Amino acid sequence: MMTAVLIAILLATLAAAAAAMSLRNLIHSVLLLIGSWLGVAAFYLMAGAEFVAFAQLLVYVGAVSMVVLFAVLLTRRSRTDIAVSPDSVSRAWSAVFAAGAVLAVLVYGVLHSALPHSPPPRPSVTVGQLGALLTGPHSAALLVIGVVLTVAMLGGVVIASTDRPSAKEDEK
Amino acid sequence: MTADSPISDPYLERAPQMLLDLVTGRLPEPWRWLANGLVSIVVILAVFGLLFAALTLAERKILGRVQNRPGPNRTGPFGLLQPIADGIKMLTKEDIVPRDADYLLHLLAPVTLLASSFLAFAVIPYGRHLVPLDLDASVLFFFAVGATTELAIFMAGWSSHNKYSLLAAMRALAQLISYELPLLLAWLPVVMLSGTLSATGIVAAQSGWKLGWIPSWHIFTPWGFAGFVIFMVAALAESNRSPFDLPEAESELIAGHLTEYSGCKYVLFFMAEYFGMTALSGMAVTLFLGGWHAPLPFLEFIPSYAWFGIKILALLLGFIWIRATFPRLRIDQLTRFAWKFLVPLAMINLATAAFWSLSSGWSWPMQVARWAVAIALVVGPFLLMGRRLSAGFAPRTYQYST
Amino acid sequence: MSGGTLQLCLLFSSALFCVGLAGALSRSNSILVLLGIELMLNAANLNFIAFWRFSPQPAPATGAIFVIFSIAVAAAEAAVGLALVISIYRQQKNIRLQEATRLKG
């Protein structure tokens, strides 16, 4: 019963992702990808990683989706710009073949490695334990992530802000 | 529903659990879990749906009285049947969808918004044994689901095939994203000082009374009071209520991102906004006002869910009162308010709460100093930053029409 | 087929990764390439959580901790990547990757 639900969630995620990568309408692509992120969050919940599932919801569906949608809206010149299509049929097929080759290698690796036969009892990690781990053994990584996020935010603002007039004159 | 209430609880406290056992007691185990869940969903939908209807009427009456007019009083005595009349009108209206609109997205937007607003009700503790879903990280779940509502607003604005709707949707999204940060920063001190992210744990951390009669709610501490005010202001903005209701400014932009919606879908949006408001009030009660605890020891005979109802009604009436009183903010004013005022204040509040937590073991004379420092840390930045933010504006003069 | 559920999850995450790879390789719209990259990161995170759940762990919460950091890094990278896309749009008025060749040769 639980395995059936798991398979259903994974199939839905895969279907949404595949549709997202192949549709012509950019907005529909983005919304379907957000659906696949929801599916991944549902998988995390099924696996018992509650905090990670809610973090995935908050960060991906709540924030990254907004960034992507704003970027789509700010980089089009008319409503028809939303229609995107692959460059050429040959390029699309070669990408599919390359991805298929990678998939074949990965599947071979998965099927021929010695994985544990029966799943252990469901692990559970409380938020308190995660907090203790983050501020104890992994505190250095936490501080580094803080710096990375701050730098990314500042960098994003600097890159996306409008050019100063003097720079434009140099270009001419 | 959570753990069974012990027999020692008064009868009214145990009543909901006993009713639930009566309804689903005979079913075998997996079906019983499912039936319990369905009953909780139906009860929440019924209670908060009726609350939504009553709120629309209450809002129009109170707004009317504040503006020196009676409000709706024709349908039924004192206008009490007005919500029913409104419902009938909205449901029988023609559902117009623009020809070039993206029909699937146009349909999905109110559904998504309502679904995510409704999911937020699952983790609020309504009474001593009345929390539908007792998660370890329930406060995080609540705000994660709240962040999902922004997506539906974009879908509404985009699918209408109307450039003004799209602009209004982008403006609404800018407002929602800006105010999400003060909202999240306002409850971080609460989690820090309660030591848990679960709503039931936070309510349990506010039990008891100091000096015999002051409840240990978080709002009665300096950082808790500041956090509560920041949370309520950010909640006003997150649910698009006046004075932050530029996205749907009825007197200015027709309906902003909802311009192309009519009839049943418009009701769904409206309902989702009220559900969001109610859910945020419920979470404010849980985080700052002690949840379902009674304010004084001798008042504990009133059941816990009644106390929760009284507190949430008080907050909702506060929302309506604010709507009647303040003029609308412009988009640049409200984003500046969020980023330059609320976010720094919320971060300083976090530092104040950290100081409060570290100094909790001080002896009695030092407690006075602790309160003095905490109050200074809350009031000082507020006055200084408020002064700087309103620098350059002339002092306010009032003219009344008497 | 040994390994049951874990193998199933790993196969699905590999498939998700390859869907993202195909999308990132075949599209000329920068935003779609970025979306493909995000999908690949998500597939890797799914892998971590599958291993955390279905195989015995030496340290209790390593999988969850790694995924938290991975989500944070992916969010930062999405923000910076999309800022770059906006900047490219400002230069060349469209976001086709083929036309961003000013640093070439």
Which uninterrupted H or E stretch holds A74?
helix A65-74
The CA distance from A125 to the nearest CA of chain C, in Å, is 7
Sequential DSSP letters for B250-307: TTTSTTGGGTT--THHHHHHHHHHHHHHHHHHHHHHHHHS-TT--SSGGGTTS-HHHH
A-C interface: how many C-beta pairs under 8 angstroms? 244
Least confident stretch, B99-113, B115-129, B383-397: B383-397
Residue at C43 is within a domain: yes
A-B interface: how many C-beta pairs under 8 angstroms? 60
Across all residues in chain C, what is the average pLDDT? 89
pLDDT value of position A172: 42
Give percent above pLDDT 70 in chain A.
91
Region B275-288 average pLDDT? 94
List the CATH number of the domain containing C12: 1.10.287.3510
Reduced to 3 states, what is the DSSP secondary structure of residue B386? Answer: helix
CA B299/CA A124 separation, integer angstroms: 39
Beta bridge partners, B209, equal B215
CA C45/CA A43 separation, integer angstroms: 11
Residue at C28 is within a domain: yes
Mind listing the pLDDT tens digit for each residue in B12-41?
777 888 888 887 777 777 788 888 888 889
Domain ranges of chain B: 7-92, 93-387
Closest to A145 (Cβ–Cβ): which among C31, C45, C72?
C72
Which tokens sit at B343?
């976010």
Region B356-382 average pLDDT? 88
- pLDDT surpasses 90 at C34: yes
Which tokens sit at B165?
């709707």
- pLDDT surpasses 50 at A167: no
Between A78 and B229, whose confidence is greater?
B229
Reduced to 3 states, what is the DSSP secondary structure of residue A54? Answer: helix
- pLDDT surpasses 70 at C42: yes
Give percent above pLDDT 90 in chain B.
43
* Angle, vertex CA B277, rays to CA B274 and CA B281, nearest 5: 140
C70: nearest Cα among C41, C49, C94: C41
In chain C, alpha helices (H) = 4-26, 30-54, 62-92
> Is C82 in Cβ contact with A49 (below 8 Å)?
no
Residues of B in contact with A68 (CB under 8 A): none
Closest to C68 (Cβ–Cβ): which among A52, A117, A156?
A52
CA B122/CA B140 separation, integer angstroms: 12
Q: Rounded to 5, what percent of chain A is helix, strand, coil? A: 75, 0, 20
Phi-psi category of residue B290: left, alpha or beta, with phi > 0 → left and psi -120 to 50 → alpha: left
B111 touches chain A (CB under 8 A): no
pLDDT band, residue B368 (cuts 50/70/90): confident
* pTM of the shown model: 0.91
CA B155/CA A87 separation, integer angstroms: 28
pLDDT band, residue B254 (cuts 50/70/90): low
CA B243/CA B124 separation, integer angstroms: 26
- pLDDT surpasses 70 at B51: yes
Residue reference for tokens 């930045």: B381
Residue at C104 is within a domain: no
Give percent above pLDDT 90 in chain A.
51
pLDDT band, residue A171 (cuts 50/70/90): very low
The CA distance from C38 to the nearest CA of chain A, in Å, is 9
Closest to A57 (Cβ–Cβ): which among B135, B144, B173?
B144
Do B and C share at least 3 CB pairs under 8 Å? no
Region B154-172 average pLDDT? 86
Which tokens sit at A75?
């980089």
- pLDDT surpasses 60 at B162: yes
Q: Based on the structure, what is the number of domains in chain C?
A: 1
> Is B147 in Cβ contact with A58 (below 8 Å)?
yes
Beta bridge partners, C96, equal C29
Question: What is this model's ipTM?
Answer: 0.90
B 159-188 residues with CB < 8 A to A = 161, 166, 170, 173, 177, 180
Least confident stretch, A68-77, B277-286, B346-355, B371-380: A68-77
pLDDT band, residue C100 (cuts 50/70/90): confident
pLDDT value of position B289: 93
Reduced to 3 states, what is the DSSP secondary structure of residue A126? Answer: coil
Peptide bond into B243 cis (omega under 30): yes
Closest to A29 (Cβ–Cβ): which among C21, C35, C82?
C35
> Is A57 in Cβ contact with B136 (below 8 Å)?
no
CA C73/CA A146 separation, integer angstroms: 10
Closest to B170 (Cβ–Cβ): which among A31, A51, A73?
A73
CA B337/CA B339 separation, integer angstroms: 6
Sequential DSSP letters for B97-146: --TTS-HHHHHHHHHHHHHHHHHGGGG---STT--S---TTHHHHHHHHH
Region A28-56 average pLDDT? 93
B154 touches chain A (CB under 8 A): yes
Between B247 and B323, whose confidence is greater?
B323
Region A121-150 average pLDDT? 90
Phi-psi category of residue B78: left, alpha or beta, with phi > 0 → left and psi -120 to 50 → alpha: left
Q: Which of B21-25, B56-60, B88-92 has the highest mean pLDDT?
A: B56-60
A38: nearest Cα among A24, A17, A69, A23: A17
> Is A51 in Cβ contact with B136 (below 8 Å)?
yes
* Cα-based distances in Å from B301 to A13, B10, B13, B20, B291: 50, 8, 9, 22, 16
Sequential DSSP letters for B223-242: HHHHHHHHHHHHHHHHTT-T
Least confident stretch, B218-227, C22-31, C66-75, C89-98: C89-98
The CA distance from C9 to the nearest CA of chain A, in Å, is 8
Reduced to 3 states, what is the DSSP secondary structure of residue B249? Answer: coil
Least confident stretch, A125-134, B86-95, C94-103: C94-103
> Is C76 in Cβ contact with A149 (below 8 Å)?
yes
The CA distance from B400 to the nearest CA of chain A, in Å, is 44
pLDDT value of position A85: 72
Region B117-125 average pLDDT? 92
> Is B158 in Cβ contact with A61 (below 8 Å)?
no
Give every CB contact of residue B278 below 8 A, 6+ residues apart in sequence. B48, B51, B52, B55, B312, B316
pLDDT value of position B388: 85
pLDDT value of position B262: 81
CA A36/CA A21 separation, integer angstroms: 11
Q: Give the structural domain span for C59.
A: 4-96
Judge whether B184 and B125 are in contact, CB under 8 Å: no
- pLDDT surpasses 70 at B316: yes
- pLDDT surpasses 90 at A166: no
Which tokens sit at B16?
């909901």
pLDDT value of position A35: 94
Reduced to 3 states, what is the DSSP secondary structure of residue B214? Answer: strand
Phi-psi category of residue B214: left, alpha or beta, with phi > 0 → left and psi -120 to 50 → alpha: beta
- pLDDT surpasses 80 at B402: no
Residues of B in contact with A55 (CB under 8 A): 140, 144
Beta bridge partners, B214, equal B210
| CA of residue B375 relative to chain centroid, distance | 26
Beta bridge partners, A83, equal A25
Closest chain A CA to residue B195: A128
B195 touches chain A (CB under 8 A): yes
CA C78/CA C63 separation, integer angstroms: 22
pLDDT band, residue B252 (cuts 50/70/90): low
Closest to C56 (Cβ–Cβ): which among A92, A98, A116?
A116
